[in-house]
Structure formats: C-alpha cells, structure tokens
Structure 1
Amino acid sequence: MNALLDDSSFGVNPHLTNKFAQILGEAHFWLMCLDKGLRLTRIAEVKNKKTPDFSAPVGSQSIYFEVKTLSVVGGDAGIADALHSSLDAHIDLEAQQRAGARVAIAMSEAQPYGDKVKHDQTLLSVINTLVEKARGNIKADQFAMPNTFLVINLSIIPPFITEPKALRPAYPDDYMFPKAVTGDLWTLAFGRTGMPILGIPEFEGKPCVEGLFDKVGILADQEFSAVAGLIFMIHPWQRPSELWGLFRGADRTQWEDGNPDLLQQLQALTGKLWNDCGDTNGWQLQ
C-alpha cells in the first residue's frame, strides 16, 4: 500500500485508485472480523495459482474468505471520470478564490452506475449491474477449498438501500403509499430467471413491476456451487460499517447438524443481519 501512496501519480491515476480500494477493502474486512473476535490469517500468494485472501480455524476445520471490492461501472475509466470531475471542481474553486470570492462553490460528479440505470427500471438496473460485477469477480480456483465465502465490499458502488430489509425477497414500503419492493441483495444471491422485480413507482396507480429478471443469482447458479455463501460489507451513512450474510437454506441446515462451529462463527460476524433463500430470518430484518 505504501508503494501506491508514494507514486507521484496516485491522486490522478484511476488504476492505482482502484487498486488502492481493493487493498483497503481487504484491510477493512480483516479489522471488522477482528472486532468480532475472528482473527484472520492472510494467505500467501502463489505464482500461477489462485487462492482465497484469508483463512481462520473454526473448530476442527477452516473457513476461507475471498474479498472483492466491486468497482464502478467502467472500472478504471469510470474512476477516471470521477477524478477529472473532482479536479475540475478544485480548479474552479481556486479560480473563484483568486477572483476574490468570500464563499467559493463548485460541484463534482461521481456516477458509480454510469449510464447503466434506466428510467423506470432503477432497481432492476442496480440488481443487474451488481450481479454482473459479482459474477465477473468469481474465479473458480479461489473457491476450491470447502467453506470458502465470497465477501462483496460495496463501498464504491452502493446497493439500492443500506437497510437490512435488502436481504429479503421483498419487503413492505410505505413511503408515499403502500407497496412491496424487491430486495436487491437477496436477488443478487437467489434470483431466478423470469422473477418480477418490484420497484418504487413515482405515483399511485403506476405499475410497480419494473421488469423481469433475466439472470440467475450467484447462490442459485450451479456454476457457483463452490461459493459457500455471500458476506456483504455495507457502509450506511448513519451507522458504522456492517457485515451482512446470505446463505443457502440447505447449507445452513447442514452446518447446524455437522458443523455448528462454522455456523456459530458466521452468526458472530453478521449477528441478526443474515437471511437465506427461504427468507427464514426475514422477520428480524427491518
């Protein structure tokens, strides 16, 4: 990390900024786990071999974590746009100050979702983008060991909401008028092709269905059966960062019967902020 910060181009280099965010996400997850009583060990990188980022002993077995900080739409190019906008704003502020302005105001723009969000399909667009980014970050070799969990850090590209009800298939929402809204993170994990996505219409009487989901959630896709579960790093404005979990119902049952130490550790990390494909814990998620 020091090498990145010492680079003279760090402040304007989108690739270095993106790389820094990945390292920072891993360090933050390590600290969050330590705060909850789980000390992780960094797994040494091996040339030409993909491995998870962290491991920890749990009873007679081990638990593994692969941490991915999802970048903005467009990756380095999207970050470059935000950096350029910020630089232009600073130049504008300095120009106003040189002109004698007592109060200088300028605006910069950051668009994590770029042009991916479509009018009248905001929630569907967010879900599709997060699914595409998460799937693109899964490398099979990194999940070869049993009990390997994918940690998705959403510090750069935020979810639709940062309330735990996003872990439910759908949740009641009474803003302006009563309606049901699809949980974006639950759908990322367990969504099925053809599932209607319920969004937030502009007014009463406007259709609530934004469209049909045309993908398959990560934990519902046989291609990613080696992923033991999803841990989300959530960063609300009004609360400290939190760890949320989504797990297959069948896996939780298996852990209860054959690996209670693993289940206990997962519960220590997430507390009440978890759910499964059957919405078993939905009653605790508000």
Structure 2
Amino acid sequence: MGDTVLLIDLKQLVIPTYLTEGGVPVTFDRQMYSLISGVQWHTAFGREGDPIYKQPNFEGSANLDGRLERNGILLDHEYIKAVIFFEYRLSDKEPKFLGLYRSRNITQGVRTFLYQVCDFINDELNSEGWQNNRILFGDQDSK
C-alpha cells in the first residue's frame, strides 16, 4: 500500500551499541581498542556468514562472536524501505531515532521523513557513517 518503514522500539532490550555506534557496520571501542559490530546496522543489512565483533572481556581476549545466521531485514524484504530504531540510554526519558535505509529504490518521501525524524541515519553502503566519526571524536557541529 505504499512505502513501508519498519519501527522497532528497543526500550526493553540491552544492546551493546547505541545510535551512531549501532548505525555503522563496525565502530572502534576506545576503551578496549577493538572493533565492535553495529548491531542495528547488521540487523538491517548484515549478510549470512558475516563476522560479528563484540567488546572483549579483557585485553587479549577474543572479540569475534561468531557469524550471522541470517540476512538483515532490508536484504530479504524489498517492500520495507527503511527501519527506524527507537533507542534509549538508561537516563533517557525520550528515545533517540536511528534510521537505516536501502540506498537503491529509496523514495524522496522516505528520505525526507528519515532526515526530519531521525537523530542519525545511514545506508547499506555506510555513506552516512562519517557522521559517526564526527560525533565520536568531538566535532561539536554534529547532531
């Protein structure tokens, strides 16, 4: 019946990556100096067999946490144009919105909607991921 955007509320789930860290394929964990997979990005775009990186328990411990067992939502469901995750930190009263969209076949209406509603957006090509680095490394002009 038209463009479909899937809304996922994460209020009752504890996910190791939040907003910008979750919205990219991998992010750098400055505490343990390791790579961590973006859970939300992989939920949308991951491919079966892709490696999953987690925060190591201590220096020198493994951070490979297996491989994806299925494709992401936007790979297997063409009718869904985008996914918006409602994300909360413990102190948040209102959610932040992470929007992920498939770059091909995106309509202008869905793109406009994502830019108006979401605090951070990205696509399967990670073309918006550079904003993550601006936020992580202290560029005050970023959202």
Structure with the largest fraction of helix: 1
Aligned residues: CA RMSD:
1.6
Please give the secondary structure, in 2, of the residue aligned with 1:164. Answer: coil
Match of 2:90?
Answer: 237
Change beyond 3 A, Cα 1:196–1:262: closer
The 8 Å contact of residues 146 and 228 in structure 1, kept in 2 or not, is answered as no
Q: What residue number does 1:196 align with?
A: 51
> 1:170 & 1:262 partners in 2: Cα distance?
25
Deviation at 1:210, TM superposition (A): 1.1
Unaligned runs of 5+ in 1: 1-144
Deviations 1:32-89 (A, max 9, x none): xxxxxxxxxxxxxxxxxxxxxxxxxxxxxxxxxxxxxxxxxxxxxxxxxxxxxxxxxx
| Paired AA for residue 237 in structure 1 | L
The corresponding residue for 1:270 is: 118
Taking the aligned partners of 1:262 and 1:157, their CA distance within structure 2 comes to 26
**Higher RCO (Cα < 8 Å, 6 or more apart):** 2
TM-score by length of 1: 0.44
Identify which of 64, 82, 87 aligns with 1:209: 64
**Structure 2: runs of 5 or more not aligned:** 137-143
The DSSP-based 3-state class of the residue aligned with 1:229 is: strand
Structure 1 segments (4+ residues) deviating >3 Å: none
Q: Which has the greater radius of gyration? A: 1
In 2, Cα distance between equivalents of 1:163 and 1:146: 27
The partner residue of 1:227 within 59, 62, 80 is 80
Give me the whole-angstrom Cα distance separating, in 2, the residues matched to 1:159 and 1:201.
15
Q: How does 1:33-44 map to 2 (within 5 A)?
A: none
1:264 deviates by 1.9
CA shift for structure 1 position 265: 2.4
More strand by share: 2
SS at match of 2:104: helix
Q: CA deviation at 1:206?
A: 1.9
- How many Å apart are 1:205 and its aligned residue? 2.1
- Could you tell me whether the CA contact under 8 Å between 1:232 and 1:243 is conserved in 2? yes
Aligned: 1:148 with 2:15? no
Q: Secondary structure at the match of 1:250?
A: coil
Contact 1:165 1:282 (8 Å CA) reproduced: no
